Structure 1
Amino acid sequence: MYIPKHFKIEDQEVIYKYIEKYSFATMFSQHKGEPYATHLPLILDKDERVLYGHIALPNEQWQDMENQNILVTFQGPHCYISPSWYETNKAVPTWNYVAVHVYGQVEFLHNQQELLQSLSEMVNKYEKANSPYNLNEVDSNFLEGLSKGIVGFKINITKIEAKAKLSQNHSMERQEMVIKQLELSPDQDNKQIANLMKENLQRKL
């Protein structure tokens, strides 16, 4: 990923935070000589430096992705930045966004218990704390039947690239102008980018 020095995220914990928050990812590999992508949620294990997930058995991507050097992208909030918000007309439009690229090697989960554990962690992540649903309480025969229709895997991470393009290449005054305009928008992505820009400015103070 092209990352100018202004926009590179160096802090590992910040990167992990983005992966966990924007965990619905796009997984790219080569399948039959062509690029192939699947959209899916992934669970990060920071201690093992591994991503856990599963793919539908009829999805052919799994058939040749083991031991490939694959790419997974996590897309955070993004929004258009209008040059009309600046103090000068000597400017052009741009786009602010957060993105993380993770590279790694796929290893399939052949152990049924490991697969069920990864499924349980995924459910626990997305179910609300007061949800009555508990995967561990689902009929074991039912779960075993469903698990035959998916392929569990983990991605052993080899490299991470992370970028937060938040107008850092502009003056603080101009960044504050952008934040003000984004906060006026009803769009949630605009508001999230505004918050990230404010956090970035506060770190510089």
Structure 2
Amino acid sequence: MYIPPYFRLNDEEMIYDFIEKYSFATVFSQHKGEPYATHLPLTVNKDENALYGHFARQNEQWKDVENQQVLVVFQGPHCYISPSWYETMRAVPTWNYVSIHLYGKMEIIEDRNIILESLNDLVSKYERPETPYILNEVNPGFFEGMMKGIVPFKINITNIEAKTKLSQNHPVERQKLIIKQLESISEGDTKKIATLMKNNLKNLNKNC
């Protein structure tokens, strides 16, 4: 991923926070000699430096993905930035966003205990605390049928690239103008981007 120095995110805690929060990712690999992608919810295990998930068995991406170097993209908040918000019209439109790219080697999981732990982690992550749905209490016959329809995997992370494009390449006063405009818009991720931009400016002031 192309990352100018001022957009590069190196804070590991923030990177993993984004991965946890925006965990519906895109997994890219080569399938039959062509680029191929699947959109999947994933869980991250920081201690193992790994991601866990599963393909639908009918999705043939799994058949030749093992031991490949795969790319996983986590897309964070993003929004349009209008040059009409600046103090000058000598500017062009742009887009602010957060994106995390993880690279790693994929392995297909066959150990039943690891599979069950991975599935429980996934359900626990997305179900609300008060949910009546408990995976261990699902009808055993139905559960076994479900198990036959998936291919669980683990991605051992080899590299992480993180980008927060938040107008850091613009003067501080212009960034403040952008934040003001974003906070006045209720659509999409505008307020999330505004908050991230404000946090960036706070950190900048702390380091000055």
Q: Normalised by the size of structure 1, how large is the TM-score? A: 0.98
The reply on whether 1:203 has 2:187 as its aligned counterpart is: no
**Cα distance in 1 between the residues matched to 2:140 and 2:115:** 13
**Cα distance in 2 between the residues matched to 1:130 and 1:198:** 34
Report the Cα offset of residue 17 of structure 1.
Answer: 0.7
Report the Cα offset of residue 89 of structure 1.
Answer: 1.1
Segments of structure 1 that go 5 or more residues without pairing to the other structure are: none
The alignment of Structure 1 onto Structure 2 pairs a total of residues equal to: 205
Q: Normalised by the size of structure 2, how large is the TM-score? A: 0.97
Matches within 5 A, 1:51-200: 51-200=51-200
**Cα distance in 2 between the residues matched to 1:196 and 1:11:** 14
**Cα distance in 1 between the residues matched to 2:112 and 2:57:** 15
**Which residue number in structure 2 is paired with residue 34 of structure 1?**
34
> Quick one: which amino acid aligns to residue 176 of structure 1?
K
**Cα distance in 2 between the residues matched to 1:119 and 1:110:** 13
> Quick one: which amino acid aligns to residue 135 of structure 1?
L
Report the Cα offset of residue 168 of structure 1.
Answer: 0.5
Identity %: 63
Listed one character per residue, the Cα deviations across residues 34-91 of structure 1 (whole Å, up to 9, x for unaligned) are 0000000010001100000000001000000000011000001111100000001111
**Cα distance in 1 between the residues matched to 2:142 and 2:82:** 53
> Segments of 4+ in structure 1 off by > 3 A?
none
CA contact (8 A) 2:85 2:177 kept: yes
> Quick one: which amino acid aligns to residue 204 of structure 2?
K
> Quick one: which amino acid aligns to residue 112 of structure 1?
R
**Cα distance in 2 between the residues matched to 1:13 and 1:60:** 34
**Cα distance in 1 between the residues matched to 2:17 and 2:68:** 26
Report the Cα offset of residue 140 of structure 1.
Answer: 2.6
SS state of the match for residue 189, structure 2? Answer: helix
**Which residue number in structure 2 is paired with residue 23 of structure 1?**
23
CA contact (8 A) 2:79 2:188 kept: no
**Cα distance in 2 between the residues matched to 1:187 and 1:43:** 28
Report the Cα offset of residue 156 of structure 1.
Answer: 0.2
**Cα distance in 2 between the residues matched to 1:117 and 1:168:** 41
SS state of the match for residue 66, structure 1? Answer: coil
> Quick one: which amino acid aligns to residue 14 of structure 1?
M
SS state of the match for residue 180, structure 1? Answer: helix
> Quick one: which amino acid aligns to residue 78 of structure 2?
H
CA root-mean-square deviation? 0.8
